[in-house]
Amino acid sequence: MSHESNAYKLFKYGNISLLFILVVAMIFPYVNVLAIAFNDPMDSQFGGITFWPRVFTIDNFKVLLQNKDVITATGISVLRVIIGTLIALVVQYMCAYAFTIKDFKGKAVVLMFLMIPMYFNGGLIPQYLLFSKMHMLNSFLVYVLPVSFSLYNMVIIRSYLYSIPGSLAESARIDGANEFIIMFRVYVPLSMPIIAVLALWSAVGHWNDWTTTLYFITDKHLYTLQYILMQILREGERVTKLMEEAIRMGTMGATSSPRQMTPAAIRAANIIITTIPIVIIYPFLQKYFVQGITLGAVKE
């Protein structure tokens, strides 16, 4: 049994204490919002809500989930995450694979060209004019095409592909396989950790983005859930309309009334609705993070 010095014990317990404090500091705000979202709105105004609701209710979620704008926006956000993530993975992976081919002449020049937008860009107005010329304003394409390529993600994938023995690709070429077959049948099955990592990054980016809607979308049928959340967080009048519509449709509890619903409760429920998908998905993909990132730093 190894003997631990007093200095090491002090460091270990100090480190554990610090990490515990950080975990509590990061988790408590979310748990507090969750408790407020499930608590009676009028009771929440008295304060004192910590980790669990005092008077449990789901009326706050009914106000949101049965609103037509929120339902439509949720569908747009889910569709954007699925399509945008798939397109981004295909584009970035194929580009990364191309940069691993030894016979690719001029790849250093191409890589330098791709690095320029990382440091210099025209700004919002030229971007708006470009999207206008490409007929992407008020179009679903503005959500998925402009962010389909990321040099940073591509470099991470390329670094990971370098860790895969090149002899596998050479053997496939000897057997007559072309580059597409080698990529999809040899490299892709061995790249699932880094694909999972990049898929989560892309999905979170699409799910959380609301500025694209703000800048380039005026059609309310293309609003994303995050943009609706931003409006609710900033506009008290919109919260009032949500509550009035819920009461008119009879979706709230029998004891609920316009005066019993509060904007703070509606905002809390909206935050939970928009964050819960990422909270659920993240633990399933977290195990790939260390493997995907660290293996990308090892070359053959």
**Residue 210: inside a domain:** yes
pLDDT at 116: 84
**Residue 91: inside a domain:** yes
pLDDT at 299: 46
Looking at residue 153, its amino acid is N
257 compared with 158, residue with greater pLDDT: 158
pLDDT at 300: 45
In the numeric block, which tokens belong to residue 94?
Answer: 């194929």
pLDDT at 144: 94
Grade residue 258 by pLDDT with cuts at 50, 70 and 90. very low
- 256 has pLDDT over 80: no
Calculate mean pLDDT across residues 142-165: 90
300 compared with 185, residue with greater pLDDT: 185
Burial class of 50 by CB neighbour count within 10 A (0 to 12, 13 to 18, 19+): exposed
pLDDT at 298: 46
pLDDT at 26: 86
Calculate mean pLDDT across residues 163-171: 86
Grade residue 168 by pLDDT with cuts at 50, 70 and 90. confident
Calculate mean pLDDT across residues 267-293: 74
**Residue 19: inside a domain:** no
The winner for highest mean pLDDT among 51-60, 217-226, 284-293 is 217-226
**Residue 222: inside a domain:** yes
**Residue 13: inside a domain:** no
pLDDT at 239: 61
Calculate mean pLDDT across residues 140-145: 94
CATH code of 177's domain: 1.10.3720.10
Calculate mean pLDDT across residues 162-190: 87
Calculate mean pLDDT across residues 285-296: 60
pLDDT at 289: 63
**Residue 240: inside a domain:** yes
Calculate mean pLDDT across residues 22-34: 88
Please say whether the dihedral angle defined by the alpha carbons of residues 80, 83, 89 and 91, taken in this order, is positive or negative: negative
**Residue 45: inside a domain:** no
Q: Which domain holds residue 253?
A: 59-295
Burial class of 252 by CB neighbour count within 10 A (0 to 12, 13 to 18, 19+): buried
pLDDT at 41: 83
Nearest Cα neighbor of 136 from 203, 70, 222 is: 222
Grade residue 96 by pLDDT with cuts at 50, 70 and 90. very high
pLDDT at 142: 94
pLDDT at 192: 87
Average pLDDT of the chain to the nearest whole number:
82
Calculate mean pLDDT across residues 62-80: 85
**Residue 237: inside a domain:** yes
Grade residue 292 by pLDDT with cuts at 50, 70 and 90. low
pLDDT at 76: 93
81 compared with 257, residue with greater pLDDT: 81
| 261-296 core/surface letters (b: 16 or more CB in 10 A; e: else) | bbbbbbbbbbbbbbbebeeebeeebeebeeebeebb
pTM of the model: 0.77
Calculate mean pLDDT across residues 139-167: 90
In the numeric block, which tokens belong to residue 262?
Answer: 């509060």
- Number of domains observed in the structure of the chain: 1
Burial class of 16 by CB neighbour count within 10 A (0 to 12, 13 to 18, 19+): exposed
pLDDT at 236: 57
pLDDT at 259: 46
- 75 has pLDDT over 70: yes
Cα-based distances in Å from 119 to 115, 149, 290: 7, 15, 28
